[in-house]
Amino acid sequence: MGHLTPFLRLASTLASHGCRVTFIAIHPTVSSAESVHLSALFSNYPQIHPLEFPLIDHFDAMDAKPAHDPFYLHCESIRRSAHLLPPLLTSLSPPLSSFIVDISLASAFLPIANKLNLPTYILFTSSATMLTLFAYLPGLIADDKRIDDVAIPGMQPLPASMIPPALHDSTNLFTKQFIENGRALLQAKAILVNTFESLEADAVSALNGGAVVRGLPPVVAIGPLQQPARPSGRPGHTFPWLDAQPPRSVVYVSFGSRTALSRAQIKELGVGLERSGCRFLWVVKRKIVDREDGEGLEELVSDGLLEWGRGLVVKGWVDQNEVLGHGAVGAFVSHCGWNSVVEAAACGVRVLAWPRGADQRVNASLVERSGLGVWAREWGWDGEEGVEVVWGEEIGQRVRELMGDTHVGESVARVREEALRASGMGGSSYKGLADLIEKWSS
């Protein structure tokens, strides 16, 4: 969902600017959340033309690698099915004026689109700061060399501990995709990022000034991207509960669409939320893929917590953007997936950053630097050596401190204003996208 969400938002934004949009949807999907959101896009925006990409499963029982993340295997299958693309693209009438590709498919899809003379753009689904690493790494890597601290020109040094863990293993599927896609950046007409200039001024300027890699296409900040419109009515059960809470009193806790916690950590988090003394809305997740997440809440958290009344514990999808935009929500305990960070910025909700893996430490460092929140640096991430569960007592104390931090309250309000200014009419992100649309329509 971290990749699909910005595409849904970009597609609906382009459609509402009067663009004719074709959305290539991969079938089947890994998670139910993907299927549900794709169907909602197509039914709420009948002007968006769906084009099904029937995936060939390249990983049958013979060569499935259980250690690999199901989303990365899926991504690799899409990449290996790239030969299905030309007939789809050339079947369209009127023909496409441009093609926007997810960064994780870039090296597989760009050469094909370029052969068809189709101007191709990349949507980068993480921060511009992560993009500096993406662009810089291919030039740095000699085969089989371990990645250490990285000094990217124009950027603050990136310690090895902040780099996505999989990148320390050159044989990992993700690492291979990362490097190939990093090289493919040079073949795009421009790279779009769901960020705004004031949040990542150093990265945007290092990328566009040629400091990171020479010859990189323009990097265009187009965020925060807006959520697609939904038909009114039928709010989920979280909202009546939120409506009854005082302004800015609720701590929202969620680790995104694909980060599961261990039983032990779930238990301690429950203790922590109780000890914090704050109201909370907590989304519990036990399995990476939602379709496999069958355990009931009562098996995971204590009865006392469910009956407490100061908190609402849910399992399953909540509309996070709406939750963050609700006036009762005052803080967000987040893994710092990039979409979550940008949503918190746009809604002016302070973040307690608890990165769990991938690009999340890089994003957490931006949360801290921008004034959007604080980063619990000493809490390790999944699989890290010597990392045990984080104890409830400590979690409770951090949450309490963040809720009472007036300094953070002021800086978060500033970040929100900057976010709204960038995406509002005439703002830097608004202009970035408007200039692209103008180019496509001329």
Catalytic residues: 3, 102
Which CB, 181 or 245, lies closer to ligand UDP? 181
For the chain, give percent helix, strand, coil, nearest 5.
45, 15, 40
* Dihedral of the alpha carbons of 317, 195, 327, 5, in degrees to the nearest 10: -20
Give yes or no for residue 34 binding ligand UDP (CB under 6 A).
Answer: no
**Residues ≥6 apart with Cβ < 8 Å to 70:** 30, 288, 289
- Collapsing DSSP to helix, strand or coil, 25 comes out as strand
Given a contact cutoff of 8 angstroms between Cβ atoms, the answer to whether 2 and 27 are in contact is no
Which CB, 118 or 312, lies closer to ligand UDP? 312
Give yes or no for residue 261 binding ligand UDP (CB under 6 A).
Answer: no
Which CB, 7 or 174, lies closer to ligand UDP? 174
Given a contact cutoff of 8 angstroms between Cβ atoms, the answer to whether 118 and 99 are in contact is yes
Stretch that binds ligand UDP, among 39-47, 77-85, 191-199, 311-319 (CB under 6 A): 311-319
Among the listed residues 69, 197, 200, 274, the single contact to ligand UDP using CB under 6 A = 69
Which CB, 65 or 263, lies closer to ligand UDP? 65
As a whole number of angstroms, the distance between CA 369 and CA 345 comes to: 13
Stretch that binds ligand UDP, among 252-260, 272-280, 392-400, 425-433 (CB under 6 A): 252-260
Which contacts qualify for 51-55: CB closer than 8 Å, 24 or more apart? Answer: 51/22, 51/23, 51/24, 51/25, 51/88, 51/92, 52/24, 52/25, 52/27, 53/24, 53/25, 53/26, 53/27, 53/78, 53/81, 53/84, 53/85, 53/88, 54/27, 54/84, 55/26, 55/27, 55/28, 55/81
Q: To the nearest whole angstrom, how small is the minimum distance from the Cβ of residue 37 to ligand UDP?
A: 9
Given a contact cutoff of 8 angstroms between Cβ atoms, the answer to whether 76 and 50 are in contact is no
As a whole number of angstroms, the distance between CA 116 and CA 109 comes to: 11
Give yes or no for residue 357 binding ligand UDP (CB under 6 A).
Answer: yes
**Residues ≥6 apart with Cβ < 8 Å to 368:** 353, 374, 375
Among the listed residues 50, 70, 165, 217, the single contact to ligand UDP using CB under 6 A = 165
Q: What angle do CA 31, 37, 40 make, to 5 degrees?
A: 145
Please provide the distance, in angstroms rounded to a whole number, between the alpha carbons at the two ends of the chain. Answer: 33
Which CB, 119 or 380, lies closer to ligand UDP? 380
Residues 316-355: x where in contact with ligand UDP by CB under 6 A, - otherwise, as a string: -xxxxx---------------xxxx--x------------
HSE, CB side, 13 Å, CA atoms: give it for residue 20: 9
Give yes or no for residue 166 binding ligand UDP (CB under 6 A).
Answer: yes
Q: To the nearest whole angstrom, how small is the minimum distance from the Cβ of residue 110 to ligand UDP?
A: 18
Stretch that binds ligand UDP, among 14-22, 192-200, 255-263, 427-435 (CB under 6 A): 255-263
Which CB, 89 or 222, lies closer to ligand UDP? 222
Stretch that binds ligand UDP, among 210-218, 256-264, 298-306, 405-413 (CB under 6 A): 256-264
Given a contact cutoff of 8 angstroms between Cβ atoms, the answer to whether 331 and 402 are in contact is yes
As a whole number of angstroms, the distance between CA 351 and CA 334 comes to: 7
As a whole number of angstroms, the distance between CA 179 and CA 205 comes to: 22
Which CB, 195 or 259, lies closer to ligand UDP? 259
Among the listed residues 121, 174, 196, 282, the single contact to ligand UDP using CB under 6 A = 174
As a whole number of angstroms, the distance between CA 103 and CA 123 comes to: 6
Which CB, 118 or 254, lies closer to ligand UDP? 254
Q: To the nearest whole angstrom, how small is the minimum distance from the Cβ of residue 382 to ligand UDP?
A: 8
Give yes or no for residue 12 binding ligand UDP (CB under 6 A).
Answer: no
Given a contact cutoff of 8 angstroms between Cβ atoms, the answer to whether 280 and 251 are in contact is yes
Give yes or no for residue 2 binding ligand UDP (CB under 6 A).
Answer: yes
Given a contact cutoff of 8 angstroms between Cβ atoms, the answer to whether 119 and 217 are in contact is no
Q: To the nearest whole angstrom, how small is the minimum distance from the Cβ of residue 171 to ligand UDP?
A: 10
Residues 269-308: x where in contact with ligand UDP by CB under 6 A, - otherwise, as a string: --------------x-------------------------
Give yes or no for residue 132 binding ligand UDP (CB under 6 A).
Answer: no
Q: To the nearest whole angstrom, how small is the minimum distance from the Cβ of residue 392 to ligand UDP?
A: 23
Among the listed residues 259, 265, 423, 429, the single contact to ligand UDP using CB under 6 A = 259
Which CB, 96 or 353, lies closer to ligand UDP? 353
Given a contact cutoff of 8 angstroms between Cβ atoms, the answer to whether 335 and 303 are in contact is no
The DSSP line for 315-349 is ES---HHHHHHSTTEEEEEE---HHHHHHHHHHT-
Q: To the nearest whole angstrom, how small is the minimum distance from the Cβ of residue 438 to ligand UDP?
A: 28
User: Given the rule CB under 6 A, which residues bind ligand UDP?
Assistant: 1-2, 5, 68-69, 72, 164-166, 172-174, 254, 256-259, 283, 317-321, 337-340, 343, 357-359
